Structure 1
Amino acid sequence: MSTQAAKDAPRRNGAVGDERAAALRSAATAAQAVIAVYTVAQLAVGLAGGTRAEFFAAYVLVSMVLLVGSVVFFLRWLRRCRRNAQLFDPVGHRFGPGLAVGGWFIPLANFWIPYRVTLDIWRASGPRGGEWVVNAWWVAWLAKTLGTAALMRTQAHPNGYSAFDQASGVVAGVLAVLVIRRLTARQQEKLSI
């Protein structure tokens, strides 16, 4: 085993596996926290009357910060998961590690590559089964992204707001947190072996 491979290989009760699990756990916690706050904010503005809510103007500014934070922390977590998945299964990935983050920024391909990357990470990180959570999250994310874009083209919504956008955002947010929790648990279990 090469020196680098020996350093990267997960070991039972070994420092490398423990360090990777701790780093993954902290990245997962940060991503879940920001996504949860963003999701609660979407739910709150929806329940308060949407654009008629007294705090809607403040919500728009805060939601932009939370959206950017959600993206940054989610991609940081996903990149870490992809690196771990490469150790678990070096050949079971359709796309390289760079596309775990980069795939989100390629027009049109971003509707497919991140899903495949996440599904490959899921499969490399544990036994078969449970992929429904990745599938449900991806369908919700596509519904929010494509549905909101379609509504913005056909109807005038202040600041891109619509009840559909908020509701689909809440569903996608809840499912994103669930994906993070379950995939992190799968990888932590694998790292502790």
Structure 2
Amino acid sequence: MVLDRETFLLVDDDPVFCRVLAQALTRRGFQVDVAQTAAEALAAALQRVPTCAVVDLRLGEDSGLPLVQRLLALRETMRIVVLTGYASIATAVEAIKLGAVHYLAKPADADEILAALGCQEANTEVVPPAHPTSVKRLEWEHLQRVLKAHGGNISATARALRMHRRTLQRKLGKRPSKE
């Protein structure tokens, strides 16, 4: 499938990620509109209805899932990828039910996103990993996500995880275990 390279809507509350991805997409021929909230995204989409969109699952305190439906109401042929640092089976299923064509876990680069947007059919050649991700690796990734969500504040992260601050510091001081 050849994608219409006219318009692309990028919705993510991380300004650095938005800037980097927007530059990469612009270099590939897209006209990119960037929004950091659902309200900004809808306003941008009403000005210029995009052909493709990337919507972050978490936009601040809000979910990006309702935005998927609203964007598809503007153009039912819009191809939307939901991108998240908080991947779960439940949210992946819900995103696809709402009309997203794909669901990617962060970090994802422009090539991965464009490949996801271009997929027409499911890839039956995907091979499941030989070994599941280790519990230590999953724990480390979860700690990093929660820490990022709390702006790097160790004390706030420890409270959110119901963990002693020193225990959290010790766990964060370790390198991530290999998958």
**Coarse TM-score class (shorter-chain normalised):** under 0.3
Kindly indicate which of the two structures has a greater share of residues assigned to strand.
Answer: 2
Kindly indicate which of the two structures has a greater share of residues assigned to helix.
Answer: 1
TM-score under structure 2 length normalisation: 0.25
For CA contacts below 8 A with separation 6 or more, give which structure has more relative contact order.
1
TM-score under structure 1 length normalisation: 0.23
